[in-house]
Structure 1
Amino acid sequence: MPLWSDIRYDLNVMQSISGSEQHRHGRARSRGRPRDRRIDDAVLRATVELLEEIGYGRLTIPLVAARAGSTPPAVYRRWPTKIELVYEAAFPTPPSTELPLTGDVESAVRTLIQASVALFSAPAVHSAWSGLMAELPSEPGLSARLLGRQQDSTYLLLQHFLDEAAAEGRAQEGIDARVLVDMIGGTVLMALANERTVDDAWIDQSTALIARGLAR
Protein backbone atom coordinates (compact mmCIF):
# COMPACT_ATOMS: atom_id res chain seq x y z
CA MET A 1 0.00 0.00 0.00
CA PRO A 2 0.83 3.65 -0.20
CA LEU A 3 4.07 5.05 0.72
CA TRP A 4 4.01 8.60 1.34
CA SER A 5 3.75 11.76 -0.65
CA ASP A 6 3.44 15.57 -0.84
CA ILE A 7 3.42 15.74 2.79
CA ARG A 8 1.65 13.92 2.59
CA TYR A 9 4.34 11.70 2.48
CA ASP A 10 7.03 14.15 2.97
CA LEU A 11 9.42 12.31 0.66
CA ASN A 12 8.29 14.34 -2.37
CA VAL A 13 9.64 11.81 -4.80
CA MET A 14 6.74 10.11 -6.48
CA GLN A 15 6.66 10.33 -10.24
CA SER A 16 3.29 10.59 -11.93
CA ILE A 17 3.56 7.36 -13.91
CA SER A 18 6.12 5.04 -15.42
CA GLY A 19 7.79 6.05 -18.67
CA SER A 20 5.91 3.58 -20.83
CA GLU A 21 2.59 4.56 -19.32
CA GLN A 22 3.36 8.25 -19.83
CA HIS A 23 4.01 7.61 -23.51
CA ARG A 24 0.87 5.54 -23.96
CA HIS A 25 -1.40 7.95 -22.07
CA GLY A 26 0.20 10.94 -23.79
CA ARG A 27 -0.65 9.50 -27.21
CA ALA A 28 -4.20 8.73 -26.09
CA ARG A 29 -4.77 12.26 -24.84
CA SER A 30 -3.35 13.81 -27.98
CA ARG A 31 -6.24 12.35 -29.95
CA GLY A 32 -8.80 14.28 -27.93
CA ARG A 33 -9.19 17.51 -26.05
CA PRO A 34 -6.37 18.04 -23.50
CA ARG A 35 -7.42 17.57 -19.89
CA ASP A 36 -8.01 20.76 -17.95
CA ARG A 37 -5.69 20.59 -14.94
CA ARG A 38 -7.84 23.18 -13.17
CA ILE A 39 -10.69 20.68 -13.05
CA ASP A 40 -8.34 17.94 -11.84
CA ASP A 41 -7.01 20.15 -9.07
CA ALA A 42 -10.46 21.32 -8.00
CA VAL A 43 -11.77 17.73 -7.83
CA LEU A 44 -8.78 16.49 -5.82
CA ARG A 45 -9.05 19.45 -3.45
CA ALA A 46 -12.79 18.85 -3.00
CA THR A 47 -12.14 15.17 -2.30
CA VAL A 48 -9.65 15.99 0.46
CA GLU A 49 -12.07 18.49 1.99
CA LEU A 50 -14.94 16.00 1.99
CA LEU A 51 -12.77 13.23 3.42
CA GLU A 52 -12.00 15.51 6.34
CA GLU A 53 -15.60 16.67 6.74
CA ILE A 54 -17.76 13.58 6.19
CA GLY A 55 -15.37 10.64 5.84
CA TYR A 56 -14.83 7.98 3.19
CA GLY A 57 -18.13 6.15 3.64
CA ARG A 58 -20.37 9.13 2.92
CA LEU A 59 -18.22 10.59 0.16
CA THR A 60 -19.69 10.18 -3.33
CA ILE A 61 -18.66 11.27 -6.81
CA PRO A 62 -21.71 13.59 -7.17
CA LEU A 63 -20.83 15.30 -3.88
CA VAL A 64 -17.24 15.77 -5.00
CA ALA A 65 -18.33 17.11 -8.38
CA ALA A 66 -20.71 19.61 -6.77
CA ARG A 67 -18.04 20.82 -4.35
CA ALA A 68 -15.54 21.18 -7.20
CA GLY A 69 -17.98 23.04 -9.46
CA SER A 70 -17.85 20.21 -11.97
CA THR A 71 -20.11 17.33 -13.04
CA PRO A 72 -20.10 13.60 -12.20
CA PRO A 73 -19.33 12.58 -15.82
CA ALA A 74 -16.30 14.90 -15.83
CA VAL A 75 -15.04 13.26 -12.65
CA TYR A 76 -15.67 9.71 -13.91
CA ARG A 77 -13.74 10.45 -17.11
CA ARG A 78 -10.70 11.16 -14.97
CA TRP A 79 -11.22 8.64 -12.17
CA PRO A 80 -13.41 5.65 -13.11
CA THR A 81 -14.03 4.70 -9.47
CA LYS A 82 -14.29 6.32 -6.09
CA ILE A 83 -11.34 4.23 -4.93
CA GLU A 84 -9.04 5.66 -7.60
CA LEU A 85 -10.18 9.22 -6.90
CA VAL A 86 -9.69 8.94 -3.13
CA TYR A 87 -6.34 7.22 -3.57
CA GLU A 88 -4.95 9.99 -5.74
CA ALA A 89 -6.39 12.72 -3.53
CA ALA A 90 -5.07 11.24 -0.29
CA PHE A 91 -1.72 10.17 -1.72
CA PRO A 92 -0.89 12.83 -4.31
CA THR A 93 1.94 12.55 -6.81
CA PRO A 94 4.24 15.59 -6.62
CA PRO A 95 7.08 16.24 -9.05
CA SER A 96 10.08 13.97 -8.67
CA THR A 97 12.84 15.33 -6.46
CA GLU A 98 15.77 13.92 -4.58
CA LEU A 99 14.87 11.40 -1.93
CA PRO A 100 15.99 13.09 1.31
CA LEU A 101 18.06 10.18 2.55
CA THR A 102 21.63 10.98 3.43
CA GLY A 103 24.22 9.96 5.95
CA ASP A 104 23.90 6.90 8.14
CA VAL A 105 21.18 4.26 7.93
CA GLU A 106 19.67 5.19 11.28
CA SER A 107 19.10 8.78 10.16
CA ALA A 108 17.48 7.53 6.96
CA VAL A 109 15.15 5.24 8.90
CA ARG A 110 14.19 8.10 11.20
CA THR A 111 13.40 10.28 8.17
CA LEU A 112 11.14 7.59 6.73
CA ILE A 113 9.35 7.02 10.05
CA GLN A 114 8.77 10.74 10.61
CA ALA A 115 7.40 11.11 7.07
CA SER A 116 5.11 8.12 7.60
CA VAL A 117 3.77 9.53 10.85
CA ALA A 118 3.07 12.86 9.13
CA LEU A 119 1.31 11.10 6.28
CA PHE A 120 -0.96 8.80 8.22
CA SER A 121 -1.78 11.45 10.81
CA ALA A 122 -3.21 13.78 8.15
CA PRO A 123 -7.02 13.92 8.59
CA ALA A 124 -7.86 13.13 4.96
CA VAL A 125 -5.46 10.17 4.86
CA HIS A 126 -6.70 8.87 8.19
CA SER A 127 -10.26 9.02 6.86
CA ALA A 128 -9.40 7.47 3.51
CA TRP A 129 -7.27 4.62 4.79
CA SER A 130 -9.92 2.50 6.48
CA GLY A 131 -12.26 2.84 3.50
CA LEU A 132 -9.57 1.92 1.01
CA MET A 133 -8.51 -1.09 3.07
CA ALA A 134 -12.10 -2.32 3.10
CA GLU A 135 -12.71 -1.88 -0.63
CA LEU A 136 -9.40 -2.57 -2.37
CA PRO A 137 -9.61 -6.37 -1.83
CA SER A 138 -12.72 -6.37 -4.01
CA GLU A 139 -10.67 -4.96 -6.91
CA PRO A 140 -7.82 -7.45 -7.52
CA GLY A 141 -4.78 -5.81 -9.07
CA LEU A 142 -5.98 -2.25 -8.53
CA SER A 143 -3.83 -1.64 -5.48
CA ALA A 144 -0.67 -2.73 -7.31
CA ARG A 145 -1.55 -0.55 -10.29
CA LEU A 146 -2.20 2.53 -8.19
CA LEU A 147 0.91 1.90 -6.14
CA GLY A 148 3.04 1.49 -9.22
CA ARG A 149 2.08 4.93 -10.45
CA GLN A 150 3.45 6.57 -7.35
CA GLN A 151 6.16 4.45 -5.86
CA ASP A 152 8.36 2.90 -8.51
CA SER A 153 10.89 5.74 -8.51
CA THR A 154 10.81 5.95 -4.71
CA TYR A 155 11.64 2.27 -4.35
CA LEU A 156 14.48 2.60 -6.86
CA LEU A 157 16.01 5.55 -5.02
CA LEU A 158 15.68 3.90 -1.64
CA GLN A 159 17.08 0.63 -3.00
CA HIS A 160 20.07 2.52 -4.35
CA PHE A 161 20.65 4.08 -0.92
CA LEU A 162 20.47 0.66 0.79
CA ASP A 163 22.75 -1.01 -1.76
CA GLU A 164 25.27 1.79 -1.43
CA ALA A 165 25.19 1.53 2.36
CA ALA A 166 25.75 -2.23 2.09
CA ALA A 167 28.69 -1.76 -0.28
CA GLU A 168 30.28 0.64 2.22
CA GLY A 169 29.73 -1.75 5.11
CA ARG A 170 27.04 0.37 6.78
CA ALA A 171 24.16 -2.08 6.23
CA GLN A 172 23.44 -5.71 5.51
CA GLU A 173 23.50 -6.83 1.91
CA GLY A 174 20.36 -7.83 0.05
CA ILE A 175 17.86 -5.67 1.94
CA ASP A 176 14.72 -5.08 -0.16
CA ALA A 177 13.51 -1.48 -0.11
CA ARG A 178 9.90 -2.66 -0.39
CA VAL A 179 10.25 -4.78 2.74
CA LEU A 180 11.71 -1.83 4.64
CA VAL A 181 8.89 0.46 3.52
CA ASP A 182 6.25 -2.13 4.45
CA MET A 183 7.84 -2.55 7.87
CA ILE A 184 7.90 1.17 8.58
CA GLY A 185 4.41 1.83 7.22
CA GLY A 186 2.93 -1.12 9.09
CA THR A 187 4.60 -0.10 12.34
CA VAL A 188 3.27 3.45 12.11
CA LEU A 189 -0.23 2.38 11.10
CA MET A 190 -0.47 -0.13 13.94
CA ALA A 191 0.72 2.43 16.47
CA LEU A 192 -1.85 4.99 15.32
CA ALA A 193 -4.62 2.38 15.20
CA ASN A 194 -3.82 1.39 18.79
CA GLU A 195 -3.72 5.07 19.82
CA ARG A 196 -0.12 4.92 20.94
CA THR A 197 1.60 8.14 21.87
CA VAL A 198 3.65 8.61 18.72
CA ASP A 199 6.11 11.12 20.11
CA ASP A 200 9.87 11.58 19.82
CA ALA A 201 10.50 8.75 22.28
CA TRP A 202 8.38 6.37 20.19
CA ILE A 203 10.15 7.45 17.00
CA ASP A 204 13.57 7.00 18.64
CA GLN A 205 12.74 3.50 19.87
CA SER A 206 11.23 2.40 16.57
CA THR A 207 14.18 3.84 14.68
CA ALA A 208 16.65 1.99 16.87
CA LEU A 209 14.86 -1.34 16.49
CA ILE A 210 14.62 -1.12 12.69
CA ALA A 211 18.13 0.30 12.23
CA ARG A 212 19.62 -2.55 14.28
CA GLY A 213 17.98 -5.02 11.97
CA LEU A 214 19.55 -3.29 8.99
CA ALA A 215 23.02 -3.07 10.51
CA ARG A 216 25.77 -5.37 9.26
Structure 2
Amino acid sequence: MGDEVRKDQLGHRKRLRTRFLKDLGRAMEDYELLELILTQAIPRGDVKPLAKQLISYFKSYAGVLSATPEELQKVEGVGEAAIVAIKLSQQSALRLLKQEAFKGHILNNWQNLIDYLQAAMGREKVEQLRVLYLNQRNHLIADEVQNIGTVNHTPLYPREIVKRALDLSAVAIIIVHNHPSGDPAPSQEDIQMTNMVKDAGSNLGITLHDHIIIGHNNYLSFKTQGLL
Protein backbone atom coordinates (compact mmCIF):
# COMPACT_ATOMS: atom_id res chain seq x y z
CA MET A 1 0.00 0.00 0.00
CA GLY A 2 2.81 2.38 0.93
CA ASP A 3 4.61 1.78 -2.38
CA GLU A 4 1.39 2.48 -4.33
CA VAL A 5 0.87 5.77 -2.49
CA ARG A 6 4.45 6.83 -3.17
CA LYS A 7 4.10 5.97 -6.87
CA ASP A 8 0.90 7.98 -7.08
CA GLN A 9 2.58 10.97 -5.39
CA LEU A 10 5.58 10.75 -7.70
CA GLY A 11 3.25 10.56 -10.67
CA HIS A 12 1.34 13.61 -9.46
CA ARG A 13 4.56 15.60 -9.08
CA LYS A 14 5.66 14.60 -12.57
CA ARG A 15 2.30 15.66 -14.01
CA LEU A 16 2.61 19.03 -12.25
CA ARG A 17 6.07 19.58 -13.74
CA THR A 18 4.83 18.62 -17.19
CA ARG A 19 1.90 21.02 -16.96
CA PHE A 20 4.19 23.77 -15.74
CA LEU A 21 6.56 23.34 -18.68
CA LYS A 22 3.72 23.62 -21.22
CA ASP A 23 3.21 27.33 -20.52
CA LEU A 24 5.55 27.99 -17.59
CA GLY A 25 2.68 27.85 -15.14
CA ARG A 26 0.43 30.51 -16.66
CA ALA A 27 -2.64 28.28 -16.56
CA MET A 28 -1.94 26.79 -13.14
CA GLU A 29 -3.71 27.70 -9.92
CA ASP A 30 -1.79 29.57 -7.23
CA TYR A 31 -1.80 26.56 -4.91
CA GLU A 32 -0.33 24.42 -7.69
CA LEU A 33 2.58 26.80 -8.20
CA LEU A 34 3.18 26.82 -4.46
CA GLU A 35 2.92 23.05 -4.45
CA LEU A 36 5.72 22.88 -7.03
CA ILE A 37 7.88 25.16 -4.89
CA LEU A 38 7.29 22.95 -1.87
CA THR A 39 8.22 19.79 -3.78
CA GLN A 40 11.73 21.24 -4.15
CA ALA A 41 12.04 21.38 -0.38
CA ILE A 42 9.94 18.39 0.73
CA PRO A 43 11.06 15.38 -1.31
CA ARG A 44 8.34 12.97 -0.16
CA GLY A 45 4.67 13.15 0.63
CA ASP A 46 1.65 15.01 -0.66
CA VAL A 47 2.29 18.74 -0.28
CA LYS A 48 -0.97 19.90 -1.90
CA PRO A 49 -2.78 20.21 1.49
CA LEU A 50 0.12 22.27 2.86
CA ALA A 51 0.11 24.55 -0.20
CA LYS A 52 -3.62 25.17 0.17
CA GLN A 53 -3.27 25.71 3.91
CA LEU A 54 -0.54 28.31 3.40
CA ILE A 55 -2.58 30.27 0.86
CA SER A 56 -5.60 30.15 3.16
CA TYR A 57 -3.52 31.27 6.16
CA PHE A 58 -1.78 34.15 4.36
CA LYS A 59 -4.81 35.03 2.18
CA SER A 60 -3.00 34.82 -1.18
CA TYR A 61 -0.01 33.45 -3.09
CA ALA A 62 1.72 36.82 -2.77
CA GLY A 63 0.96 36.76 0.94
CA VAL A 64 2.79 33.46 1.30
CA LEU A 65 5.89 34.66 -0.56
CA SER A 66 5.91 37.92 1.43
CA ALA A 67 5.51 36.28 4.84
CA THR A 68 8.49 36.41 7.17
CA PRO A 69 10.33 33.20 8.10
CA GLU A 70 8.92 33.56 11.62
CA GLU A 71 5.37 33.77 10.28
CA LEU A 72 5.86 30.80 7.96
CA GLN A 73 7.25 28.72 10.80
CA LYS A 74 3.94 29.00 12.64
CA VAL A 75 2.26 26.83 10.01
CA GLU A 76 2.54 23.15 10.86
CA GLY A 77 4.58 21.26 8.30
CA VAL A 78 6.70 24.23 7.25
CA GLY A 79 10.36 23.66 8.13
CA GLU A 80 13.62 25.34 7.24
CA ALA A 81 13.84 23.80 3.77
CA ALA A 82 10.32 24.95 2.85
CA ILE A 83 11.01 28.46 4.17
CA VAL A 84 14.19 28.69 2.09
CA ALA A 85 12.34 27.55 -1.05
CA ILE A 86 9.52 30.06 -0.52
CA LYS A 87 11.78 33.02 0.27
CA LEU A 88 14.13 32.08 -2.60
CA SER A 89 11.15 32.35 -4.96
CA GLN A 90 10.32 35.77 -3.57
CA GLN A 91 13.89 37.01 -3.78
CA SER A 92 14.22 35.76 -7.38
CA ALA A 93 11.09 37.70 -8.35
CA LEU A 94 12.34 40.84 -6.59
CA ARG A 95 15.71 40.69 -8.32
CA LEU A 96 14.08 40.31 -11.72
CA LEU A 97 11.79 43.29 -11.05
CA LYS A 98 14.69 45.35 -9.69
CA GLN A 99 16.89 44.73 -12.71
CA GLU A 100 14.04 45.70 -15.04
CA ALA A 101 13.25 48.82 -12.99
CA PHE A 102 16.80 50.12 -12.88
CA LYS A 103 17.75 49.40 -16.47
CA GLY A 104 18.76 52.81 -17.78
CA HIS A 105 16.91 56.08 -17.17
CA ILE A 106 14.64 55.52 -14.15
CA LEU A 107 12.14 58.26 -14.99
CA ASN A 108 11.58 56.69 -18.41
CA ASN A 109 10.98 53.31 -16.79
CA TRP A 110 8.28 54.39 -14.35
CA GLN A 111 5.89 51.43 -14.37
CA ASN A 112 8.73 48.94 -13.88
CA LEU A 113 9.94 51.05 -10.95
CA ILE A 114 6.48 51.03 -9.35
CA ASP A 115 6.15 47.26 -9.89
CA TYR A 116 9.45 46.71 -8.10
CA LEU A 117 8.62 49.04 -5.21
CA GLN A 118 5.18 47.47 -4.84
CA ALA A 119 6.69 44.00 -4.63
CA ALA A 120 9.48 45.07 -2.28
CA MET A 121 7.44 47.20 0.13
CA GLY A 122 3.70 46.82 -0.48
CA ARG A 123 3.20 44.01 2.03
CA GLU A 124 5.60 45.08 4.75
CA LYS A 125 4.06 45.12 8.24
CA VAL A 126 5.94 48.26 9.34
CA GLU A 127 6.94 51.45 7.56
CA GLN A 128 10.22 51.54 5.68
CA LEU A 129 12.01 54.55 4.23
CA ARG A 130 13.86 53.80 1.00
CA VAL A 131 15.98 56.28 -0.97
CA LEU A 132 17.04 55.89 -4.59
CA TYR A 133 20.22 57.83 -5.41
CA LEU A 134 20.72 58.81 -9.05
CA ASN A 135 23.51 60.18 -11.22
CA GLN A 136 23.31 62.95 -13.84
CA ARG A 137 21.73 60.58 -16.36
CA ASN A 138 19.10 59.48 -13.81
CA HIS A 139 20.67 56.04 -13.63
CA LEU A 140 20.65 54.30 -10.27
CA ILE A 141 23.71 54.63 -8.05
CA ALA A 142 22.20 53.04 -4.93
CA ASP A 143 18.88 51.67 -3.67
CA GLU A 144 18.97 51.81 0.12
CA VAL A 145 16.53 51.26 2.97
CA GLN A 146 17.45 54.14 5.27
CA ASN A 147 15.15 53.45 8.21
CA ILE A 148 12.59 50.94 9.49
CA GLY A 149 9.89 52.26 11.79
CA THR A 150 6.54 51.19 13.23
CA VAL A 151 3.17 50.38 11.72
CA ASN A 152 2.44 54.05 11.14
CA HIS A 153 5.71 55.96 11.35
CA THR A 154 9.29 55.82 10.15
CA PRO A 155 11.86 58.52 10.89
CA LEU A 156 13.07 60.69 8.02
CA TYR A 157 16.22 62.74 8.53
CA PRO A 158 16.83 65.22 5.68
CA ARG A 159 20.46 65.84 6.67
CA GLU A 160 21.30 62.13 6.58
CA ILE A 161 19.69 61.70 3.16
CA VAL A 162 21.51 64.68 1.69
CA LYS A 163 24.81 63.68 3.31
CA ARG A 164 24.51 60.19 1.84
CA ALA A 165 23.77 61.69 -1.58
CA LEU A 166 26.95 63.76 -1.37
CA ASP A 167 28.95 60.70 -0.28
CA LEU A 168 27.67 58.84 -3.36
CA SER A 169 28.12 61.84 -5.68
CA ALA A 170 24.41 61.62 -6.49
CA VAL A 171 22.72 64.61 -8.11
CA ALA A 172 19.11 63.46 -7.68
CA ILE A 173 17.06 61.31 -5.32
CA ILE A 174 13.66 59.64 -5.07
CA ILE A 175 12.23 59.01 -1.61
CA VAL A 176 9.92 56.03 -1.11
CA HIS A 177 8.05 54.82 1.93
CA ASN A 178 5.16 52.44 2.50
CA HIS A 179 1.91 52.69 4.44
CA PRO A 180 1.10 49.29 6.01
CA SER A 181 -2.53 50.47 6.36
CA GLY A 182 -2.75 50.20 2.57
CA ASP A 183 -3.82 53.82 2.10
CA PRO A 184 -1.07 55.83 0.33
CA ALA A 185 -2.56 59.24 1.21
CA PRO A 186 0.23 61.42 2.68
CA SER A 187 0.07 62.78 6.20
CA GLN A 188 0.85 66.40 6.97
CA GLU A 189 4.16 65.21 8.42
CA ASP A 190 4.94 63.39 5.15
CA ILE A 191 4.41 66.64 3.24
CA GLN A 192 6.48 68.72 5.67
CA MET A 193 9.42 66.32 5.71
CA THR A 194 9.38 66.05 1.92
CA ASN A 195 9.69 69.83 1.62
CA MET A 196 12.55 69.79 4.11
CA VAL A 197 14.44 67.22 2.05
CA LYS A 198 13.75 69.20 -1.14
CA ASP A 199 15.06 72.42 0.41
CA ALA A 200 18.12 70.78 1.98
CA GLY A 201 19.04 69.11 -1.30
CA SER A 202 18.45 72.10 -3.58
CA ASN A 203 20.92 74.18 -1.57
CA LEU A 204 23.60 71.63 -2.50
CA GLY A 205 22.58 70.90 -6.08
CA ILE A 206 20.65 67.71 -5.30
CA THR A 207 17.22 67.40 -6.92
CA LEU A 208 14.34 65.59 -5.26
CA HIS A 209 12.53 64.04 -8.22
CA ASP A 210 9.66 62.52 -6.27
CA HIS A 211 8.37 61.07 -3.03
CA ILE A 212 6.41 57.86 -3.61
CA ILE A 213 4.12 56.32 -1.00
CA ILE A 214 3.39 52.63 -1.54
CA GLY A 215 0.07 51.13 -0.43
CA HIS A 216 -1.07 47.52 -0.78
CA ASN A 217 -2.09 47.64 -4.44
CA ASN A 218 -1.71 51.33 -5.16
CA TYR A 219 0.67 54.22 -4.76
CA LEU A 220 0.84 58.01 -4.61
CA SER A 221 3.39 60.22 -6.35
CA PHE A 222 3.99 63.65 -4.78
CA LYS A 223 5.06 64.93 -8.20
CA THR A 224 1.90 63.73 -9.93
CA GLN A 225 -0.30 65.10 -7.14
CA GLY A 226 1.32 68.53 -7.32
CA LEU A 227 2.77 68.19 -3.82
CA LEU A 228 6.36 68.63 -5.00
Which TM-score applies when normalising by structure 1? 0.32
Tell me which structure has the larger Cα radius of gyration: 2
Which TM-score applies when normalising by structure 2? 0.30
